[in-house]
């Protein structure tokens, strides 16, 4: 549907504004404390000793995430993005790493450089409002956060680790806008595994003794869980009725059996559009959460309100809608979860469609998919 990219941009601006990111206004909680000339304890690093760590992330880790180095790489901030000619992934991807070695603060001379890093670790920029999960076995302390927005085809994984007075903060984001040159974002579990690989590269360069999480969940699915999903395009019986005349296009990410997707959409006027994505969420190596626990957390964070009754075959669901041009066009969003299987449906129409009917149609599509996993 026309206007999707504009809608996504507005949502991003709104999110940044809500987080307090307006223009160049200073964030008092994260404004650097005046630093002393510097005294360092055993094992602490000087700022100058962490300025060349961008190259520590291996080519293998970057390839795993589908990104490559940008033209300018310099700590404390490193950035890697999807190559312009890289058609393997077909999604916008960016990996960033902030690497800071903190000094003893002038205003708290009784505190060490490590104490300052501990203080900063609790107030990292970009983590505002995130539901951080502690991670054991990485550095001196670590935490993980995930964001997952099916309606905007976006997933992010944040992993921050402190090693004495050094803080490594790595963010990975993948987004698809479902244009002809884009596909579905990769499974959240793949992003998490890739971020862990990049962080371990950096920790190894820092000489950290603890570079592996202590919790290693079973790779086999638990009761009622699935590890593979089937193709989506042929599983939506209502597609011809909801998106008449539109060709189904597979948007499954490459090299994985854990996620699949299909879209019925053409950017050629006021025609309906339908996008369905299915993912078998994996257990977390970092936090020890089971696959169902991770899926439950992601579903809870999805946009919308819980349904009064979940769709048939689902354990829970959330539903949302978006109206624009005074209701002339609407989109309905449904996210339904069954154990670790998550189904997301986006259905859009023009010409003043009925909001309630669109929600019923989107729920029916989710039920079609869930019926294949009974």
- Mean of the pLDDT values across residues 221-243? 92
Helix (H) or strand (E) run with residue 287 in it: none
Q: Give the chain's mean pLDDT.
A: 82
Categorize the per-residue pLDDT at 12 as very low, low, confident or very high, splitting at 50, 70 and 90: very low
Highest average pLDDT, of 74-78, 85-89, 259-263, comes from 259-263
All structural domains of the chain, each given as residue ranges with its CATH number in brackets, are 36-206 (3.40.1000), 233-371 (2.60.120)
Categorize the per-residue pLDDT at 93 as very low, low, confident or very high, splitting at 50, 70 and 90: confident
Distance CA 191, CA 64 (A): 9
pLDDT for 154 equals: 85
Distance CA 165, CA 159 (A): 17
Residue 46 burial by Cβ neighbours in a 10 Å radius (0-12, 13-18, 19+): middle
**Residues 6+ positions from 319 with CB-CB distance below 8 Å:** 304, 305, 307, 332, 333, 334, 335, 359, 362, 363
Distance CA 255, CA 65 (A): 12
Categorize the per-residue pLDDT at 177 as very low, low, confident or very high, splitting at 50, 70 and 90: low
pLDDT, greater one: 221 or 341: 341
pLDDT, greater one: 85 or 364: 364
pLDDT score of 116 more than 80: yes
pLDDT for 73 equals: 66
- Given a contact cutoff of 8 angstroms between Cβ atoms, the answer to whether 167 and 120 are in contact is yes
CB atoms within 10 A of CB 241: 10
Distance CA 95, CA 175 (A): 12
């Amino acid at each position: 549907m026309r206007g999707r990219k504009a809608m996504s941009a507005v949502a991003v601006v709104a999110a940044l504004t809500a987080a307090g990111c307006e223009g160049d206004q200073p964030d008092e909680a994260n404004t650097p404390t005046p630093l002393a000339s510097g005294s360092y304890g055993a094992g602490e690093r000087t700022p100058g000793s962490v300025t060349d760590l961008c190259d520590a992330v291996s080519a293998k880790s970057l390839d795993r995430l589908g990104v490559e180095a940008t033209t300018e790489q310099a700590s404390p901030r490193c950035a890697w993005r999807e190559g312009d000619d890289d058609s393997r992934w077909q999604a916008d991807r960016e990996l960033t790493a902030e690497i800071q070695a903190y000094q003893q603060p002038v205003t708290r001379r009784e505190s060490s450089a490590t104490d300052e890093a501990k203080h900063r670790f609790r107030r990292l920029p970009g983590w505002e409002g995130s539901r951080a999960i502690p991670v054991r076995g990485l550095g001196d302390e670590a935490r993980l956060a995930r964001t997952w927005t099916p309606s905007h085809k976006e997933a992010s994984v944040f992993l921050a680790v402190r090693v004495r007075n050094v803080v490594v903060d790595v963010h990975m984001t993948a987004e698809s806008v479902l244009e002809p040159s884009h596909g579905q974002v990769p499974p959240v579990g793949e992003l998490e595994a890739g971020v862990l690989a990049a962080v371990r590269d950096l920790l190894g360069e820092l000489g950290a003794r603890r570079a592996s999480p202590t919790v290693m969940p079973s790779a086999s699915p638990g009761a009622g869980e699935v590890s593979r999903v089937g193709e989506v395009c042929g599983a939506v019986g209502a597609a011809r009725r909801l998106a008449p005349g539109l060709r189904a296009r597979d948007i499954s990410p490459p090299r994985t059996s854990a996620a699949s997707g299909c879209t019925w959409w053409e950017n050629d006027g006021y025609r309906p559009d339908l996008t369905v994505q299915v993912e078998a969420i994996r257990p977390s190596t970092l936090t020890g959460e089971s696959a169902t626990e991770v899926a439950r957390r992601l579903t809870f964070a999805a946009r919308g309100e819980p349904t009064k009754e979940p769709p048939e075959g689902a354990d829970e669901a959330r539903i949302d809608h978006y109206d624009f041009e005074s209701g002339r066009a609407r989109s309905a969003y449904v996210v339904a979860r069954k154990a670790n299987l998550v189904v997301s449906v986006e259905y859009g129409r023009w010409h003043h469609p009925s909001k309630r009917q669109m929600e019923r149609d989107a729920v029916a599509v989710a039920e079609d998919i869930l019926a294949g996993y009974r």
